[in-house]
Every structure is written in structure tokens, then in C-alpha cells.
Amino acid sequence: MRLITRLRNLVAFYTILLLVGVLSPSWAGDLRHGKTIAQRWCAACHVVVPEQSAAWADAPSFSDIARRRADKEALARFLIDPHPPMPDMHLSRQEIDDIVSYIRSLDPRPAPSSDPEEKDTLGPKRG
């Protein structure tokens, strides 16, 4: 009897894990969709693709943002809580993940190590 109860609990547990994995939104954004969103909503101020000729001078290009090596969570937080003069575009979490994936794809350098000492470099440069 105990064995049956235990097996039933294990099956329920693994079923829940499977459903959570399948139904939860992916952290890996769709970079092609991110590029499309960026060209539609961000290109007025930022250079979002290398072939773009002009943008607002005070806004960093997406390539510059990518070279700052901010992690996914830092970039997402930045887009979730925009700051003036950047408008709130009311992006969904999936759209934010897609844009973040696109931005991170623009850094031509190898991926950084997972060194816990590495600092978040998204913030404004000072000095």
C-alpha cells in the first residue's frame, strides 16, 4: 500500500515538473522576433542594425549595449522599468526576452565566463 502511494506521488511530482517545463515561457528569446520588434519600436532612437544609417545621438546603439556585457536579467530589468527619455513601450515579457536575445547576439566577442566577480555593466557610464 505504501509503495503504491509513493509511486503515485512520484508520478504526480514528475508530471508537474514536466508541465511546468513545457508551459512556462522560455528564457531563451527569439532573436529574429527581437530584431523585428527593435526595428519597429527602437530604431527611432537607437541604431538597432548595423546597416541603419542614423538615430538619436544620445541613445547608445544596440551593438554598444551588447558590448557592455550586461546579463540577460539586467537588460530585461532595464526594459521592464524604462527611464526618461526612453518611453515605456509596454512590452510583454516574451518581447523583452526576444529583444534581449537580439541585443546579446550583436556582441561579436566570445561569451563571457560565468565569473561571479563580474559586475553588471548596464548602468550609465560615469566619469
Q: Is residue 33 part of a domain?
A: yes
Q: What is the pLDDT of residues 39-68, one digit of tens each?
A: 999 998 999 998 888 888 788 999 999 988
Spatial separation of the C-alpha atoms in residues 79 and 124, rounded to whole Å: 14
- At 88, the pLDDT band (50, 70, 90 cuts) reads confident
Answer yes or no: is 40 within a domain.
yes
Domain range spanning residue 82?
26-105
Does the pLDDT of residue 13 top 70, yes or no? no
Whether the pLDDT of residue 126 is over 50: the answer is no
More confident residue, 32 or 114: 32
Residue 64 lies inside a defined structural domain of this protein: yes
Residue 49 lies in a domain: yes
Give the three-state DSSP class for 86: coil
Total number of domains in the chain: 1
Tell me, yes or no, whether 73 lies in a domain.
Answer: yes
Q: Kindly state whether residue 124 falls inside one of the protein's structural domains.
A: no
8 Å CB contact between 120 and 82:
no
Give every CB contact of residue 114 below 8 A, 6+ residues apart in sequence.
none
Does residue 84 lie within any of the structural domains? yes
